[in-house]
Amino acid sequence: MGITLLHAGLAAGAATAIIPIILHLFMRRTPKKVVFPAIRLVRKRHSKTTKRLKIKNWMLLLTRMGMLALMATALARPACNTKASLGDREVPTALALVFDTSYSMQYTEKGKDRLAEAKELAIEKLRRVSDSSQVFVFDSADVGAPPALSPAAARKRIEALALRPAGRPLNAAVGQAYASLAESELPRKVVYILTDLAASAWDSNREIEHLDLAKKTKGGISTFLVRLGAKKVQDVAITAAEPVSKLGFQGDTATIKARVRATGDAASRVLDFFIDGKKKLQKPIQIPADGEIEIPLETPKLEPGPHQGEIALEGAVDPLKFNDKRYFTLEIQSALKVMIVSDLNLDAEYVAKALDPAGERRPYAVERMLTTQADALSADSLRGFACVYLINVAKLDEARWSRLNNFVHEGGGVVVAVGDRADAENYNGPIAAQFLPAELKKVVEPADPTSFAKFDETHPLFAEYAKDLERDMSAVPIFRYWSVNPSQGSRAILTYRDAGAAALVERSIGGVKSGKTMLWTTPLARRSERRTERDLREGWNEFPLVWPFWYLVNQEVPYLAGKTGKKLNYEAGENVYITIDPTARFSNYIVQGPRTTPTGDKNADRLTPPSNNSALSIVSPQPEGQWSVTAAGSGSETKIELFSVNIPPAESSFVRLEPKSLDGLFGKKNYRVAETLEDLKQIEIDQWIGKEIFPWLMALVVALVTAEAIIANRFYREPAGVVPAK
């Protein structure tokens, strides 16, 4: 730490402190001789008076000297600082301007959003730097490090900055700023981070990269965070709008779950609900202060295929506009055809009722066949089916096993549930082994009934209600089951409590399309209410009596058919993957987004993936809104996919980073925070000019003047009752 003087020449005025000495030496009062008879008393009095006068003279002399010296020093404007340097325009500066361009910076007050505030402040800073300075303009959404620019070129770059719906954490941009400034040879290096300090724009779990360079670089790198925006925020946002089920079926309505959140005071709005561009509903809503409400919205019955919708808010001007709308896409599926094959009608009863309880062929069109029927599992009968169930079938001939094998290799799904009628030798035959998940070994009958135990909680069948399924399935009595030896590439996704034996085994089959098979080692059937010895032999479990049976059967069909619901709703910045039908003969794909050209047309990108690709990859689409993909080739076009892109809900969060989090990112005392331009100017003065001592010196001068007056008055004042001699 050192002392600098703004007006060093004035410090020479401290030499005027010698004037009181001169005055004391040459202007001393000459004592008068007075004849007094009691000379002894006078001499004694004179001795005491002389000593007292000497002390008073020295005190007065020092006070006057100190007063003059301090006044001269104060006029020189001394400052206490750590980096002595000249004014802004006199020092070539390496300047990094890091802009937060996330969508929370769209918050608008008095007709100006936070990004516009940041631009104005940055341009004001550029007016105060020398033309020889280097300026680095960092956009938080850009991955690369920008080159050094002149102040004039930097202004143009700043004016072109725009909000970006997806970007990297500000940590990365700040780290690159340190790395760029460390390479500069200019004497002053400074980073300005222009942000609203929203926590969503930072990775608070990771320290700023290259922070060590800010400390090791000659002269150091100063870091100023400029916090933009008001302390009190008012906003109403749609934070979610998504179908409750990923897959809807023809003839049914779909439920869209919307969530609306208020930040600040309670608010009233009008919610508009659109499907395929047509308004279907308008309703007033009330949102509590700093609260959130959930609104279920029912669609009308929709035709099969993809549909796009929008939820919007009306009723007041919001300071943050982007979150007043949210887009979604859902797909309506035609009823999936399911074939249930069994030796006995009774064995097919529970699965058929679980899939189509009302017999309306919705959402599944169920066909029940006995193995004795001639067309059961024929080549023609399998055409158009999504899934086939074999429930406690004794055996199949090679032709039927072969047709099922082809069905799976062409993308179909097969569920096999074995029981007391199953012939292990037939199920373990060479053709069946090509697609069945496991080899049958023997029937196991525990001394005490067992139950279902562990399952793969990440599997689509169990993931949504894992805890509820675990609780209720653990209470299902299982009297008998087949022990199995899983095939290569198979895995048990559900086990029994009895020694961890496999209850449900899954296998994926590669082919023209990816098919799947599942094997239940206990039948999906129940024979009788009675518990006779014969009933126990034929009725292996009580599974069909509990809700997990009905739930899992309904989950199995779309999962095995590959119809579990594609991901159709994305956040800006996520990659989109669209499955390509390998049998289709399309050479390229046209991707259209919501952003329009100056003429009002939608921008379109043409993608040509390699012929062996199974999916079309759309890298990080960012404009929010509705998107479509059209396959083109062979003289015809087919729209194969629709999807929606929304700005991440985190951009609507106004939670700011706490000082503790900033200390974790930058380290204590390695940064300064300003909230206004005036705050920033004062912080810069403290950093580069230093803390001025002038106010303290002037206060001390006032104190010395007062002391001098008091001492002088006491020095010249005559004692009471004394009459001067004449």
Alpha carbon distance 437, 492 (integer Å): 9
Instruction: Give the chain's domains with CATH numbers.
Output: 2-82+692-716 (no CATH), 88-232+654-689 (3.40.50.410), 235-333 (2.60.40.10), 336-556 (3.40.50.880), 569-649 (2.60.40.10)
Residue 536 parent element (H or E): helix 533-538
Does 413 score more than 90 pLDDT?
Answer: yes
Alpha carbon distance 519, 499 (integer Å): 19
By the 10 Å C-beta count (0-12 exposed, 13-18 middle, 19+ buried), 171 is classed as buried
Mean local confidence (pLDDT), 203-230: 84
Q: Lowest mean pLDDT: which of 8-17, 101-110, 142-151, 694-703?
A: 8-17
Does 539 score more than 50 pLDDT?
Answer: yes
Residue with tokens 């999936």: 336
Please report the pLDDT score of residue 83 as a whole number: 47
Please report the pLDDT score of residue 561 as a whole number: 83
Mean local confidence (pLDDT), 351-366: 87
Residue with tokens 């009302």: 358
Q: pLDDT: is 187 or 97 the higher one? A: 97
414 DSSP β-pair partners: 388, 517
Three-state secondary-structure class, residue 503: strand
Does 704 score more than 70 pLDDT?
Answer: no
486 DSSP β-pair partners: 438
pLDDT per residue as tens digits for the range 7-55: 555 555 556 656 666 655 555 555 556 555 555 555 666 566 666 656 6
Characterize the bridge pairing of strands 490-496 and 452-455. Answer: antiparallel
Alpha carbon distance 444, 256 (integer Å): 47
Does 152 score more than 80 pLDDT?
Answer: yes
**Which strands form 515-520's sheet, in the order they lie side by side?**
364-370, 336-342, 387-391, 413-417, 515-520, 502-509, 490-496, 452-455
Residue pair 70/78 in contact (Cβ under 8 Å)? The answer is: no
DSSP assignment string, 131-159 = TT-EEEEEETT--SPPPPB-HHHHHHHHH
Mean local confidence (pLDDT), 77-88: 50
**Mean pLDDT score across all residues of the chain:** 83
Q: pLDDT: is 536 or 588 the higher one? A: 588
| C-alpha pair distances (Å), 291 with each of 138, 181, 296, 398 | 36, 44, 17, 64
Residue pair 118/105 in contact (Cβ under 8 Å)? The answer is: yes
- Provide the pLDDT confidence category of residue 598 given band limits of 50, 70 and 90: very low
Does 574 score more than 60 pLDDT?
Answer: yes
Does 1 score more than 50 pLDDT?
Answer: no
- Provide the pLDDT confidence category of residue 534 given band limits of 50, 70 and 90: low
Residue 399 parent element (H or E): helix 398-409
Mean local confidence (pLDDT), 417-439: 95
pLDDT per residue as tens digits for the range 502-529: 999 999 987 667 789 999 999 999 876 5
Mean local confidence (pLDDT), 299-307: 90
- Provide the pLDDT confidence category of residue 209 given band limits of 50, 70 and 90: confident
Mean local confidence (pLDDT), 685-709: 63
Alpha carbon distance 576, 568 (integer Å): 9
**Local structure of residue 663 (DSSP, 8 states):** H
Please report the pLDDT score of residue 84 as a whole number: 41
Mean local confidence (pLDDT), 278-298: 94
| C-alpha pair distances (Å), 377 with each of 390, 405, 407, 508 | 10, 11, 10, 21
- Provide the pLDDT confidence category of residue 401 given band limits of 50, 70 and 90: very high
Top-ranked range on mean pLDDT: pick from 162-171, 371-380, 407-416, 689-698: 407-416
* Residue 66 exposure: Cα atoms within 13 Å on the Cβ side: 18
Residue pair 91/190 in contact (Cβ under 8 Å)? The answer is: no
Does 596 score more than 80 pLDDT?
Answer: no
- Provide the pLDDT confidence category of residue 410 given band limits of 50, 70 and 90: confident
Please report the pLDDT score of residue 136 as a whole number: 96
Please report the pLDDT score of residue 56 as a whole number: 63
Q: Is 678 left (phi over 0), alpha (psi -120 to 50) or beta?
A: alpha
Question: With helix as H, strand as E and coil as C, how does 583-624 read?
Answer: CCCCCEEEEEEEEECCCCCEEEEEECCCCCCCEEEECCCCCC
DSSP assignment string, 284-337 = EEEE-TT-EEEEEEEPPP--SEEEEEEEEEESS--S--GGGEEEEEEEEEPPEE
**Local structure of residue 374 (DSSP, 8 states):** T
Non-local CB neighbours of 286 within 8 Å, separated by 6+ positions: 266, 267, 268, 293
207 DSSP β-pair partners: none
Three-state secondary-structure class, residue 720: coil
Please report the pLDDT score of residue 599 as a whole number: 47
Does 3 score more than 60 pLDDT?
Answer: no
Question: ∠ CA(445), CA(446), CA(450), 5° rounding?
Answer: 115
Bond preceding residue 147 cis, omega within 30 of 0: no
Please report the pLDDT score of residue 501 as a whole number: 94
- What pTM value is reported for the model? 0.72
Residue pair 356/362 in contact (Cβ under 8 Å)? The answer is: yes
Residue with tokens 């669209």: 578
Does 724 score more than 60 pLDDT?
Answer: no
